[in-house]
């Protein structure tokens, strides 16, 4: 074994118990009392500590340009903050550019993330353009590259129309992918935003109120 975590209190979904954990090749290969290290085994004494699986954050926005600014956390700071809080996997979002193949969008974002990430990560792809057959087909290419989920937006200038939304749903059933939906009515939102701005209603509460339910 490459690593043994000894004397910790293991927490699972079913129970809590005291045991050692043996790890080889980044996989847990043994759980039990009194695991013995070999000459090259690293040993961590977790006496008095809880040992539990790392959390998965399925919705993050790292180094995300939006509304003329960029999200406060980039891949360096965001993934290190995650690790310090016990989160060992994050899912970020890739927004497809207009006319961009989804595989290319994924590669573009991975090039930004790879040098800086400190935890495991993956992506959801935000679908913004399936107006050409090759763009819709590129959903399958993204799945082959490891993506399992897409997202469509019914709001924002980069959101898709209902026809494109339906095409994405159709294709997702054929390629075994999930589709998430940001469900708002952009036209109603824009009317309310203009009304509230004209009335001087600009604090955070009115941002919420502009999101018609």
Q: What is the pLDDT of residues 105-132, one digit of tens each?
A: 999 999 999 999 999 999 999 999 999 9
Rg of the chain in Å (alpha carbons): 23
For residues 141 and 101, the answer to whether their CB atoms sit within 8 Å is yes
Which burial class, exposed, middle or buried, applies to 78 when counting CB atoms under 10 A from its CB (0-12, 13-18, 19+)?
buried
Structure-token match 């939006």, residue found: 66
CA distance 94 to 96: 6
Look at residue 155 in the predicted model and tell me its pLDDT. Answer: 85
For residue 155, give every residue at least 6 positions away whose Cβ sits within 8 Å of its Cβ, in sequence order, or none. 182, 184, 185, 186, 189
Look at residue 185 in the predicted model and tell me its pLDDT. Answer: 87
CA distance 132 to 99: 8
Beta carbons within 10 angstroms of residue 21's beta carbon: 20
For residues 127 and 165, the answer to whether their CB atoms sit within 8 Å is no
Largest Cα–Cα separation, the chain: 73
Q: pLDDT 10s per residue in the chain (213 long)?
A: 999 999 999 999 899 999 999 999 989 999 999 999 988 999 999 999 999 999 999 999 999 988 889 999 999 999 999 999 999 999 999 999 999 999 999 999 999 999 999 999 999 999 999 999 999 999 999 999 999 999 999 888 888 999 999 999 999 999 999 999 999 888 899 999 999 999 999 999 999 999 877
| Three-class secondary structure of residue 184 per DSSP | coil
For residues 123 and 147, the answer to whether their CB atoms sit within 8 Å is yes
Angle in degrees, CA 97, 212, 164, rounded to 5: 35
Output the pTM of the full model. 0.82
Structural domains in the chain, sorted by start: 3-51 (2.30.40.10), 55-182 (3.20.20.140)
Which among 82, 111, 107 is positioned nearest to 96, based on CA atoms?
Answer: 107
């Amino acid at each position: 074994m490459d690593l043994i975590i000894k004397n910790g209190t293991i927490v699972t979904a079913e129970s809590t118990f005291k045991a050692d954990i043996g790890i080889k090749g980044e996989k847990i290969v043994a759980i039990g009392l009194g695991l013995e290290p070999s000459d090259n085994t690293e040993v961590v004494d977790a006496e008095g500590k809880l040992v539990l699986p790392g959390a998965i954050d399925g919705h993050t926005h790292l180094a995300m340009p939006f509304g003329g600014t960029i999200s406060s956390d980039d891949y360096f700071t965001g993934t290190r903050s995650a690790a310090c809080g016990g989160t060992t996997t994050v899912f970020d979002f890739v927004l497809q550019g207009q006319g961009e193949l989804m595989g290319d969008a994924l590669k573009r974002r991975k090039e930004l993330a790879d040098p800086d990430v400190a935890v495991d990560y993956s992506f959801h792809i935000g679908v913004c353009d399936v107006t050409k057959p090759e763009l819709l087909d590129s959903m399958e290419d993204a799945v082959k590259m490891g993506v399992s989920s897409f997202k469509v937006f019914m709001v924002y200038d980069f959101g898709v129309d209902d026809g494109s939304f339906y095409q994405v749903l159709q294709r997702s059933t054929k390629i075994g992918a999930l589709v998430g939906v940001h469900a708002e009515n952009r036209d109603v939102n824009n009317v309310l935003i203009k009304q509230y701005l004209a009335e001087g209603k600009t604090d955070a509460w009115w941002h919420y109120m502009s999101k018609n339910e």
